[in-house]
Chains A and B, each alone.
Chain A
Amino acid sequence: MAASNKYKLSSPAAFYPVAGRMIPWFGASAAVLAAIGLWIGLWLAPTDFAQGDAYRIIFIHVPAAWMSMFIYLVMAFWSALGLGFNTRLSAMMAQSLAPTGALMTLIALFTGSLWGRPTWGTYWAWDARMTSELILLFLYLGIIALRNAIDDPRRADRACAVLSLVGAINVPIIYFSVRWWNTLHQGSSVSLSAAPRMAAVMLAGMLILAFAAWFYTIAVALCRVRVIMLERESGSGWVSELFALNIVHLKKA
């Protein structure tokens, strides 16, 4: 039974080399898109009359914020798949996305606060979107902490899957309640969404950088999932076979 699904993509043994081949492609396209995006954001886009050049931070802040939300939903998707069909690979994919998602949230937070300083005069103004990002960061850290607290990989996969699904249901509720709370107290004057009117070139810059971030995330996630496989499948045959070959190869060279 094991031999037949060795070549089905859902088995780690078959996915390991395939992921290996895909990583350079995603990495390269991420680099190219990032270069174009940065060139637009830092050079091509005109200086804004109100915020001067400080607004250029949105070319990093907005894509990172988008990605932090998007990665969480993709993670919840893989978790649901892993929980539903009991496939180890999808659970490993969910596990590999969490750190990058947390980092994207972190980037969104500190670029947002660095942008807030010149525009509102303070690093943190309890703006609706920034507050929701902060809570999203806690959700990510909760999943990573739960993952580290459980030794048995199978239980860790399923527990983190339940947590990320419960979290995914709560993310829109949290965003809605924080926005409600924000408008109730501060009104919309102090809000990041009061970005300068969106010239076409700026939107293009942000979209390109968003895709760059997405390809970067895929490349990193594929790298990490391969490492997770090495860590977890060390008992199974294909890993030792993989490394037995390397060792022999090394001896010959």
Chain B
Amino acid sequence: MNELQFLTWVRGPGLDAAVAIFLLGTVWRLIEIYGLGRKKDLAAPRLTPGASGWHTIVRRSVPPEGMFKQSPVTYVGGYVFHIGLAAIVFLFAPHIKLVEGLVGLSWPGLPSQIVDLVSVVTLAAMVVVLVDRIKRPVKRFLSGFEDWFTWAVTFLPVLTGWLAVQHLLLPYTTMLALHILSVEVLLVTLPFTKLFHAFTVFGSRWYNGTVNGHKGVPV
């Protein structure tokens, strides 16, 4: 298989299979998780402005009072790499083109130099959070294979994408194919690892906000 055939495979059958597994896994896991259901809360609710699941979905993106200084690396690193990932995934023109090719939706992107800069910053932030995971006793204590694995699976698409655009290390065609392949690995992995928090984070925040909002506590 030559580079172009490899690229054509990852853009064709490989992408099809990866997206299929991703969708299958996501639908299955969402039903598996939320199908468990929960009991209705019979206690009389206390209504307080700002205390609801929806509020918590938004509010929990901001560090609670006093927490930022407890672990600034976790917060700053986390913000930078999540926002960076979102910007790269959704605002890089070729990625928008991919979404358009898949579902027909399109929107304006960012100039590639900016995406380039964001990629470098994102990679740096991911390295920082990895080092923090190694060095900070709590994180190291909590970490298992899955934590290291999912870090790598998230890091590689950004790295290969950046290398491909910069024409570094390998010919562009090969690097682009590796980039798409690494994204496919990410897609296949996502529903079955802690990366699934990309979906469940909304459910979790909503439940937390709703349970506590019932008590009138804006968490």
A, B from the same assembly: no
